[in-house]
Structure 1
């Protein structure tokens, strides 16, 4: 006999199955969703009605005839009734955005980081999040959750920032701090998710992708620090304690220049913002960026490589140089290099991706595969609706 908790988890998985299908192919009908998901027709009807009532899904209003019976009504993700709030805690600034379910930036703000002490940072973040909630409330938009990206290794299991050298943070128990600050500032109680800012930047490209959907992507962010957000097989690859993707602290030169992390010869000392500022021609830092892209390519073979961050905005030549460097390695190996493109959301990439982190968790309950046994779901939702209700 199933427990209530088990039934709720099955329901969340079923919802995520339908949402993912509609994100992949807008315009599916209830009958098509039932056929493609393997869920019973009654389950689809009940869950679609729930998703419509909650503002996740809408009917297009254009019914199409499909053989006998009532016309089918196409469904799509509703970008007009729900939003997510995304926060980027950068080394010198804060960016906060409100983003629709379809990736539209509804509102954004940026201001300098006043202090670097964790508690004070959380208070400043909370004040801006409350402003975002106020803007969304004025537009009668529902808030699905808050996502936060920060420049360090975040351990999801403990809610701890293990290592953020450019903020001077080590082993900061961040999640309780930010939830307390949000509560004290009067923010509505919604789910809060935290991740490394390069990981969130990757989600801005992955969750709001245009065109062909790929199951792997790497986003390299270049600023004071250098990091990579890695999506593999439809999941963020974060490592055992959130340290995966800390490419700024991979070694490019044995016994090279000292780095903020305590090592020497890190990639950050070659094309981090401080290193670029010292170069007569900052674009030459792109050579080292190209080396790192080459190493990421041969290690992970991703479907897409995306580069963004403040350094790319300030010195656009580094991306051109990086592409040329990568192409040189590929030519010498007799293979075709992957495409490298700039960030779609520019300097808002990490903040938008932090908002997408909310959607990422909604679509992957317990990080489990978005599938369910028809036998299991039939026990929760008897197939007691007639065929004509699936229109």
Structure 2
């Protein structure tokens, strides 16, 4: 019986409950946290003390009397100690974003992709992360974790990139060379998470959403779909407070869904794929038809709407950045489909963080894993990688 492991899991769960409550309802006291969470007051007192010491929470005001007249100190997420970093490995560019625990953008950077090989991507990512860490340190902040978004399917159990066709990757172990490169760049022993870029962007829109009156992040946006129209086209899906990635991490690979039989040729060898209509490379070609591309984007959004019935569809990527009217015309098409069916259309909007959406989302994935206990396999993988990194950093130089 793994008593110690079970106790640590229970502790992680309880900590995540308190952090999520503190994000959703800033100003709760220890007594209110105990009441809202169902945990004992002694457990809450112990865990809050740890979270204060680690810089996750802070006492946000002077004590006030509770309902029984006793002094009670309000608590809130501390945005002055920890920060998160996210890196988007794009087909042509790499982008980095650092955000606070509440999603405020603190630092960003962008570079051309030097080389698509996993080793070079790892080194370039590590260099960006090291620069970001120095920028955060200058503001008195420490890096709590790094997320990396890639344009391909990621196996959450193994941490391998199953397939990233626009980078020429298949069954690639990116986590190991990335962790080694971060160690070599002296970034330190920080958690590293790997995720598909569109999935990450969906989490950024979800985790850093605040509804009216400061409502629970994501409370008005679940289910949420993020559609990323870049060189490739993909979707991230948040469903029931979790990423929906499918059995093999392939959910949301919509770029090669067929929108027109015998349509334009696609890079995958098929014809009529979504990517062939409104991927950024397709739109940049001489003779491309923006009006037609917008209509087909509208078709795709309508299909996602009737398939998943989301509250919100967010659309971003280079295609939309290069042609601001693309999404507007696609929304008109969705509105017409809704009118024809006599149904109200879902909310469709542009990405809140613009071109940085996948990078911000990668940082949100780190936070997402803090706030929800890791899948056992993922947790064990992260623990093994951490031990490996520590052994490497303590080994004597050759």
- TM-score between the two structures when normalised by the length of structure 1: 0.91
**Corresponding residue of 2:258:** 251
1:181 is displaced (CA, Å) by: 1.5
C-alpha contact (below 8 Å) 2:282/2:288 kept by paired residues: no
Q: How many residues align?
A: 368
C-alpha contact (below 8 Å) 2:206/2:224 kept by paired residues: yes
C-alpha contact (below 8 Å) 1:83/1:144 kept by paired residues: yes
Distance in structure 2 (CA, Å) of the matches to 1:90 and 1:49: 41
Per the alignment, in what secondary structure is the counterpart of residue 288 of structure 1?
A: helix
Distance in structure 1 (CA, Å) of the matches to 2:299 and 2:3: 53
**Corresponding residue of 1:353:** 361
C-alpha contact (below 8 Å) 2:133/2:142 kept by paired residues: no
1:175 is displaced (CA, Å) by: 1.2
**Corresponding residue of 1:305:** 313
1:173 is displaced (CA, Å) by: 1.4
**Corresponding residue of 2:324:** 316
**Corresponding residue of 1:166:** 166
- The 5 Å alignment of 1:25-36 reads 25-36=25-36
- Deviations 1:10-49, CA, capped at 9 Å, x for gaps: 1000000111111111111111110110000011111111
**Corresponding residue of 1:52:** 52
RMSD of equivalent CA atoms: 1.5
Distance in structure 2 (CA, Å) of the matches to 1:348 and 1:257: 29
**Corresponding residue of 1:379:** none
Bigger relative contact order, structure 1 or 2 (CA pairs below 8 A, ≥6 apart): 1
Distance in structure 2 (CA, Å) of the matches to 1:301 and 1:72: 43
- 1:287 maps onto 2:295 in alignment: yes
**Corresponding residue of 2:241:** 234
**Corresponding residue of 2:198:** 198
Distance in structure 2 (CA, Å) of the matches to 1:2 and 1:168: 42
Segment drifting more, 10-19 vs 135-144: 135-144
Structure 2, gaps ≥5 residues long? 377-398
- The 5 Å alignment of 1:337-352 reads 337-352=345-360
Segment drifting more, 280-289 vs 48-57: 280-289
Segment drifting more, 228-237 vs 166-175: 166-175
**Corresponding residue of 2:387:** none
1:122 is displaced (CA, Å) by: 1.0
1:229 is displaced (CA, Å) by: 0.7
1:262 is displaced (CA, Å) by: 3.1
- Deviations 1:116-170, CA, capped at 9 Å, x for gaps: 1111111111111111111222223122111000111111212211111111111
C-alpha contact (below 8 Å) 1:26/1:76 kept by paired residues: yes
Match of 2:283 among 270, 276, 279: 276
Distance in structure 2 (CA, Å) of the matches to 1:364 and 1:261: 36
**Corresponding residue of 2:17:** 17
Match of 1:363 among 371, 392, 396: 371
Structure 1, gaps ≥5 residues long? 369-391
Per the alignment, in what secondary structure is the counterpart of residue 365 of structure 1?
A: coil
* 1:341–1:274 distance in 2 versus 1, CA, 3 Å: same
1:62 is displaced (CA, Å) by: 2.9
C-alpha contact (below 8 Å) 1:283/1:317 kept by paired residues: no
1:339 is displaced (CA, Å) by: 1.3
**Corresponding residue of 2:209:** 209
1:256 is displaced (CA, Å) by: 2.9
1:112 is displaced (CA, Å) by: 0.5
1:283 is displaced (CA, Å) by: 4.3
